């Protein structure tokens, strides 16, 4: 039988798949805590320097500085303030640099070794990430000692690592590699988990296995063909901006006035309505993928820009915090749409390569994001101006991309070339047939 037919017999989304999904959802809470760790572990409370002149060395600074709050962090322990403050941002940036390295090496590796072994070095989904941020803020509120907070936030990783050995390999990947018998065993495992009697599953031999140079040739096609090259450049910038603004605003939660833990929780929970909001708009004929992405990015950009014109003590409903939260909501919605939109813009033969390149560019935005809030030392309005200009520019660039709603997804690169290209191609083929 065909693979899709076998999935229908096993159960498309039975108890087995639900248990696996629940595991990945819980994993994302842990991933969110890792991504946000430096926001609280590296938080800088209000402080006072005893003498008027700023000490030049860290040792002198330690003798004269007095921190006012009741929590500890790496900043309070090692006096990472003033000329040493960049080290906090560097620690966060290195985390995203690690994600970038993982993206480069483990993405292609997952096509060769399988999804399960590579998963044990990373994560797969972005579900419940927003809730994970709020949970981390809750932990930080009750755990004020930074080492214990880091221990509690990191320790679930051991639990998830051990449970990872229980995950079955992807049947589709096994089948694509020609491992038909192993794919059949996994399907039997899923069927038993779904409460079905033992089925007789005999898959047809796979027509062709995945070639090792598929990813390399796919990336080459992105550069070689003008239509793909133009789309890739625009999408790379959009992904970069989404990551820069998303993580930049998240890290800015610690820079805003008010309760630090409430700010962090709000910056996570504000994303919860983003998913249903974007799902509503992208399916409407009057908005679609392109207009919705454009609108969300431009709205996020202007929300960030307008924060610089509002005073801090203007009340919550007219405060920079509310505008920044609105910006976080809309850039999060745009981020969700971009995953879908990008998949539909690339033809099937180069879709994995296109998504891989865009995802890699996204990590560069994450690497730079921690340093943007620290630009307030130049001027308090600079960070939000950077986020604002980035969001608005990416929004307008999105208008250069075609709409994909209710349009067939291209299977080959030739499908993107348009009717003129197809006519010339058919004419050339006919001439060759006549000559032969």
Q: What is the mean pLDDT of residues 71-83?
A: 85
H or E element: which one contains 67?
Answer: strand 65-67
Instruction: Kindly indicate the confidence band of residue 20, based on its pLDDT and cuts at 50, 70 and 90.
Output: confident
Highest average pLDDT, of 7-21, 93-107, 168-182, 244-258, comes from 244-258
Tell me the C-alpha to C-alpha distance, in Å, between residue 434 and each of 393, 424, 431. Answer: 51, 15, 5
Q: What is the pLDDT of residues 122-175, one digit of tens each?
A: 334 555 788 889 999 999 999 999 999 999 998 988 888 888 777 787 776 677
Task: Give the span between the Cα atoms of 17 and 14, in whole angstroms.
Answer: 5
Q: What is the pLDDT of residues 374-424, one digit of tens each?
A: 888 888 889 999 999 999 999 999 999 999 998 887 777 777 765 544 454
DSSP 421-433: HHHHHHHHHHHHH
Angle at 244 between CA 243 and CA 246, to 5 degrees: 60
Query: What is the value of pTM for the model shown?
Result: 0.80
Residue spans of the domains in the chain: they are: 1-44+85-206, 215-428
Residue 113 has pLDDT above 50, yes or no: no
Q: What is the pLDDT of residues 209-249, one digit of tens each?
A: 545 445 556 678 888 888 899 999 999 999 999 999 999 99
- Residue 195 backbone phi and psi in degrees, to 5: 80, 15
Residue 316 has pLDDT above 70, yes or no: no
How deeply is 377 buried, as exposed, middle or buried, from its count of CB atoms within 10 A (0-12, 13-18, 19+)? exposed
Q: Residue 252 has which token pair?
A: 């800015």
Task: Give the span between the Cα atoms of 149 and 343, in whole angstroms.
Answer: 38
Q: CB of 284 within 8 A of CB of 415?
A: no
Instruction: Kindly indicate the confidence band of residue 428, based on its pLDDT and cuts at 50, 70 and 90.
Output: low
Residue 115 has pLDDT above 50, yes or no: no
Could you count the other beta carbons within 10 Å of the beta carbon of residue 106? 16
Q: CB of 262 within 8 A of CB of 137?
A: yes
Within its chain, how far is the Cα of 142 from the centroid? 28
Task: Reduce the DSSP state of residue 270 to 3 states and report it.
Answer: coil
Looking at 155-225, list the stretches that DSSP marks H as alpha helix, in order from N- to C-terminal side: 156-164, 171-176, 180-193, 214-224
The per-residue pLDDT for 415 is 73
> Which CATH number fits the domain 215-428, given the four candidates 1.10.10.10, 3.40.50.10490, 3.20.20.70, 1.20.1250.20?
1.20.1250.20
Q: What is the mean pLDDT of the chain?
A: 80
- Residue 50 backbone phi and psi in degrees, to 5: -60, -45
Task: Give the span between the Cα atoms of 158 and 156, in whole angstroms.
Answer: 5
**97 CB contacts (<8 Å, ≥6 apart)?**
363, 367
pLDDT-above-70 percentage for the chain = 80
Within its chain, how far is the Cα of 172 from the centroid? 24
- Residue 47 backbone phi and psi in degrees, to 5: -140, 165
DSSP 240-255: HHHHHHHHHHHHGGGT
Q: CB of 244 within 8 A of CB of 387?
A: yes
């Amino acid at each position: 039988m065909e693979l899709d037919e076998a999935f229908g017999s096993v159960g498309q989304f039975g108890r087995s798949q639900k248990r696996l999904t629940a595991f990945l959802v819980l994993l994302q809470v842990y991933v969110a805590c890792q991504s946000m760790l430096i926001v609280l572990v590296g938080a800088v409370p209000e402080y006072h320097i005893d003498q008027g002149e700023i000490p030049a060395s860290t040792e002198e600074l330690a003798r004269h500085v007095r921190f006012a709050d009741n929590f500890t962090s790496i900043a309070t322990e090692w006096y990472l303030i003033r000329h040493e403050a960049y080290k906090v941002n560097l620690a966060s940036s290195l985390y995203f640099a690690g994600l970038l390295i993982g993206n480069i090496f483990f993405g292609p590796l997952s096509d060769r070794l399988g999804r399960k072994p590579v998963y044990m070095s990373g994560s797969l989904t972005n579900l419940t990430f927003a809730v994970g941020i709020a949970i981390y803020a809750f932990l930080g509120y009750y755990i004020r000692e930074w080492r214990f907070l880091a221990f509690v936030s990191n320790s679930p990783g051991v639990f998830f690592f051990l449970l990872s050995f229980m995950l079955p390999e992807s049947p589709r990947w096994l089948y694509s590699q020609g491992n038909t018998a192993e794919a059949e065993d996994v399907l039997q495992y899923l069927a038993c988990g779904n409460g079905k009697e033992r089925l007789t599953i005999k898959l047809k031999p796979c027509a062709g296995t995945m070639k090792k140079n598929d990813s390399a040739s796919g990336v080459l096609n992105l550069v070689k063909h003008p239509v793909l090259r133009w789309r890739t450049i625009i999408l790379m910038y959009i992904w970069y901006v989404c990551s820069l603004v998303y993580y930049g605003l998240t890290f800015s939660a610690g820079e805003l006035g008010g309760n630090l833990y409430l700010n962090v929780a709000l910056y996570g929970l504000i994303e919860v309505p983003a998913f249903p909001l974007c799902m509503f708009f992208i399916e409407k004929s009057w908005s679609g993928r392109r207009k919705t992405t454009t609108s969300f990015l431009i709205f996020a950009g202007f929300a960030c820009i307008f924060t610089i014109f509002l005073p801090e003590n203007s009340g919550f409903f007219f405060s920079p915090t509310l505008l920044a939260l609105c910006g976080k909501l809309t850039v999060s919605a745009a981020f969700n749409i971009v995953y879908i939109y990008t998949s539909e813009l690339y033809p099937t033969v180069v879709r994995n390569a296109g998504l891989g390149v865009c995802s890699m560019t996204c990590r560069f935005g994450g690497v730079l994001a921690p340093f943007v809030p620290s630009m307030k030392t130049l001027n308090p309005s600079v960070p939000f101006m950077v986020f604002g200009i980035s969001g608005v520019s990416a929004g307008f660039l999105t208008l250069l991309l075609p709409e994909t709603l209710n349009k067939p997804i291209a299977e080959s690169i030739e499908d993107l070339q348009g009717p003129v290209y197809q006519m010339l191609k058919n004419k050339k083929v006919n001439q060759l047939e006549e000559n032969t």
